[in-house]
Amino acid sequence: MITNTELEHKGNLYPAGLVSFDHDQDTVSFLSKNGVRLNITVLRDNMLRFRYATNGIFEDDFSYAVDKDHPHGFNHLKVEEHETHVVITTEKFICKVAKVDLRVGMYELTGKPIVEDELGFHWEESFEFGGNFVKMSKASKDQENFFGLGDKPTNFNLKGKRLSLWNTDQYAYGKDTAELYKAVPYYMGLHNNIGYGIFFDNTFKTHFDFCHERRNVTSFWADGGEMNYYFIYGPQLSDVLTTYTDLTGKPELPPMWALGFHQCKWSYYPESKVKEITSKFRELNFPCDAIYLDIDYMEGFRCFTWNNDYFPDPKRMVQELEEDGFKTVAIIDPGIKIDLDYSVFKEGLENDYFCRRADGPYMRGKVWPGECYFPDFTNPEVREWWSGLYRELIGEIGVKGVWNDMNEPAVMEVPGKTFPFDVRHDYDGHKCSHRKAHNVYGMQMARATYEGVKKYNFPKRPFIITRANYSGGQRYTSTWTGDNVATWEHLWLANVQIQRLCVSGMSFAGSDIGGFAEQPSGELYTRWLQLGIFHPFCRVHSSGDHGEQEPWFFGDDVLEISRKFVELRYQLLPYLYTAFYKYVEEGMPILKPLVYHDQEDVQTHYRSDEFIFGNQFLVCPIQEPNVQGRRMYFPRGKWYNFWNDTLVTGGREMWVDAPLESMPIFVKEGAIIPKYPVQQYVDEKKIEQMSLDIYYKLGKENSEFYEDSHDGYEYRQGGFSLRTFKLTGKDDEVIVQQHKHGKYASTYDTFKLTFHGVPFEIRKVFFENEEVNLEDLQYNAEDQTMIVSKDFSELHLVG
């Protein structure tokens, strides 16, 4: 490790010698002899922000990622000057800044180190572009592991990896492809049961090295901009992640149909083909909520137009699909065809909304429509215009969701597959080059789309899906993992990528089920769908170049099995919706990797096959062909096999049978799982009775069940219902207590309870302490079911 004297000798490239420090309400400022300034702002008791200016001048403070309404404020702050350090203490942890070189260390209140700077902040001048390459390196512990960074297609645990973030269109990417569609410069470190997070809010190309170059060093740097990062202390990863998600923002609840099964292909056209597909779903009783229109619905790939030969009356078609329970989602790309007879192009040109090269000409590039210009979505006026373009598509034709693609931005047939560096952007008034705006281009496009769809679909909720994104983009849109391939390795990747997105603040994510490029076998399709029904976003999509990918294409067996699993997703919709609510309210990820679920158990640190869906389902996909089961790890606690109620004690690996018609699914003991009847689409049926599956536990467990009207905004005015169930199991008793908040009136009056694993014969039942006749509850001893009023506050079973 470098010594202090060496550091001073390195002159300008490191902060050297403290001249002064100062602090006001929440910010402690340091000035070093060579002009470096460091501002440390205390945002919360567990979060500090660090900004470094090499020449003493900070950039204008502006961020696309940070939610302007993010919660901040702290309970305690003490700043003390010691001989060698300045010490900042909050209610949760201590930060020490060395006077000699501004190196920083973070410690728990007990003094245990959380993370300490190695070289700390340093920089290199960028002679080619001006500004600096800004760098930070931190010492890592031997047993330290790392998680996060968005959609990277690599091992879940990032230790040993070096990765960079530069949004890139990667058709048929592979394991370890360096750059993908999204930039989420956020990671979490974990050692000695201490978890912390780093969010490097810099939109230039960023780089992360997790003990790759040097075994005990983690570093991150950017090709420009400021060293501007947030440090978040846990020690629980769950506290780290929810704090990060608070900072960068949470989405609104999606309409529930967006959580149904979606079918997509490049492309379904003409109208008769679309109808043939949707009718077939209904004919085969295969649930489906949305059908997608890829680029061929447009006239020559011109956004916001329709090909009238293929779709003579889009409004009627969309309406008819809607009557059949299908929402229509249409693709919109950023490239606008250069064509003076095309109104969108003309408007963009007249108003100077397109990106320009540094010397003045428009940025010209080839995408699906041929030569295009590209709106500068970092200009608020352009976003306003773009959102207005949805008036007809959403407001009149009735399309319910928009799919934004190619927004890395992708450009064909050019080196780098994107805009040249010199292209200019407004960046909300902070004019800059593409080097700085590249990673937020897609996010700002999705943001403008979200505004438009929300406006014209109001009072219904918008649904947006984007391929490119940046931290904070979860406020506007869902996402998918782009152009994957129909291989077993990609099924493995999809599992890792969606878990990674979930711990990167972007839970509303899914993969192209079955693979986009090439064609899956029936077996691969089935196994992938089995995983996909547990992903927050569940869509089959394929390029269509290699054959069909509808569930009936692979023969009757696959159809049967697939239907069974999609039906399971529809039954679990109230459970998934509750998990979504927890994400929207608290920033809790919808999928929880095992390390997130139980970080104390070091067995989980390198696990990524198994994950927790919501709070109480343990799921493990089958990722290999020709197998009848697999070994999997069970986290600590006890888990019921979903298929046969066998109870497994966790903290160990075990073999689980899983022939093609099955997969390993387990439910946490004590869980109470809300279930809907199978429907062909959301709101097909009025729910007359709600099912609750109650899994016995000797001990206590809490469960939640959130409901509202599935769409619209009444939930914001109290039009929701949140039920908390407390289960207490004893040797010959089960007590279930219910507390309800909110004023949403459910459509049903009763719960059908199904008990699993109750170890005694139920002889007596008490409601609010009064004994009730078992017959009155239609008690069925064989199925372990009974019907009760939905508003009970205490139910007591006695053996």
Binding residue for ligand GLC (CB under 6 A) from 482, 587, 614, 650?
482
Q: CB of 165: closest distance to ligand GLC in angstroms?
A: 19
Q: What is the nearest approach in angstroms of ligand GLC to the Cβ of residue 500?
A: 19
Residue from the set 201, 408, 451, 483 that interacts with ligand GLC by CB under 6 A: 483
303 or 632: CB nearest ligand GLC? 303
Q: Which is nearer to ligand GLC, 337 or 436 (CB)?
A: 337
| Non-local CB neighbours of 734 within 8 Å, separated by 6+ positions | 694, 696, 727, 728, 755, 758, 796, 797
CA distance 703 to 647: 19
Phi, psi of 496 (to 5 degrees): -70, -45
List the catalytic residue out of 117, 226, 289, 405: 405
Strand partners, 206: 165, 222
Q: In terms of Cα–Cα distance, which of 191, 97, 177 is closest to 141?
A: 191
266 touches ligand GLC (CB under 6 A): yes
Q: Token digits for 405?
A: 């693609």
Complex with ligand GLC: residue 541 or 607, whichever CB lies closer: 541
Q: Which is nearer to ligand GLC, 494 or 665 (CB)?
A: 494
| Residue 550 bears catalytic tag | no
Examine residue 405 and tell whether it contacts ligand GLC (CB under 6 A).
Answer: yes
Question: What's the number of CA atoms in the CB half-sphere (13 Å) around residue 243?
Answer: 28
The string over 166-181, giving b where at least 16 C-beta atoms fall within 10 Å of a residue's C-beta and e elsewhere, is: bbbbbebbeeeebbbb
CB of 367 to ligand GLC, least distance (A): 9
Give, as one character, the DSSP assignment of residue 256: G
CB of 543 to ligand GLC, least distance (A): 6
Give helix 271-283 / helix 314-323 axis angle, nearest 10°. 0
Minimum distance of ligand GLC from residue 85's CB (angstroms): 51
Q: C-beta of 681: minimal distance to ligand GLC in Å?
A: 23
Q: What three-state secondary structure class fits 612?
A: strand
Q: Give the nearest distance from C-beta 544 to ligand GLC in angstroms.
A: 8
> DSSP string covering 427-493, please?
TTTS-EEHHHHHHHHHHHHHHHHHHHHHHHHTTSPPEEEES-EETTGGGT-EEE--S-BSSHHHHHH
Give yes or no for residue 151 binding ligand GLC (CB under 6 A): no
DSSP character string of 94-109: EEEEETTT--EEEEET
**Number of residue whose CB is nearest ligand GLC:** 266
Per CB under 6 A, does 118 bind ligand GLC? no
Contact with ligand GLC (CB under 6 A) among 117, 209, 294, 426 = 294
**Whose Cβ is closer to ligand GLC: residue 223's or residue 294's?**
294
Site residues for ligand GLC, window 501-540 (CB under 6 A)? 516
Distances (CA, A) of 112 to 91, 195, 238, 346, 598: 15, 12, 20, 62, 21
Q: Which two tokens stand for residue 2?
A: 């470098």
Q: Torsions phi, psi of 666, nearest 5?
A: -135, 155
Other Cβ atoms less than 10 A from the Cβ of 409: the count is 29
Nearer Cβ to ligand GLC (461/490): 490
Task: Give the per-residue contact string, 170-189, with ligand GLC (x = CB under 6 A; - = no).
Answer: --------------------
From 44, 262, 425, 467, residue interacting with ligand GLC (rule: CB under 6 A): 467
468 belongs to the binding site for ligand GLC (CB under 6 A): no
Whether 483 sits among the annotated catalytic residues: the reply is yes
Residue at 137: amino acid letter: S
- Assign residue 682 a region (left: φ > 0; alpha: ψ between -120 and 50; beta: otherwise): beta
Choose between 353 and 516: whose C-beta lies nearer to ligand GLC: 516
Pick the binder of ligand GLC from 43, 295, 303, 531 (CB under 6 A): 295
Closest CA to 238 of 612, 739, 725: 612
- Residue placing its CB nearer to ligand GLC in the complex, 199 or 537: 537
Q: Which residues of 432-454 are buried (b: 16+ CB within 10 A; e: fewer)?
A: bbbbbbbbbbbbbbbbbbbbbbb
For the bound state, the minimum distance from the C-beta of residue 406 to ligand GLC, rounded and expressed in Å, comes to 6
With CB under 6 A as the contact rule, the residue among 94, 330, 331, 524 that binds ligand GLC is 331
Q: List contacts with ligand GLC (CB under 6 A).
A: 266, 294-295, 331, 405, 467, 482-483, 516, 541
Enumerate the active-site residues: 405, 408, 483
